[in-house]
Structure 1
Amino acid sequence: MSSTWSKGRIAFLVLGVICVIVGLVLVIPALGS
């Protein structure tokens, strides 16, 4: 396993988590109102 591969995978996972959090932040207030 190369360090470049692991860094790329970590970056991909972080971007996925950020997208999910942003999606929840936008959806929850809409559902609440």
Structure 2
Amino acid sequence: HITHKSRQGGPVYHYDYQGPENHGNGEKDTSQ
């Protein structure tokens, strides 16, 4: 997965298709 700052300033987690995992607070974004 890839992490980067969202527009709100918080972490956004990009889940890859091999295995989505919840790594904590942030928006779930599967649009990669």
Radius of gyration: which is bigger? 1
TM-score (norm 2): 0.16
The structure where strand makes up a greater share of residues is 2
Q: Which of the pair has the greater relative contact order for Cα pairs under 8 Å at 6+ separation?
A: 2
TM-score (norm 1): 0.16
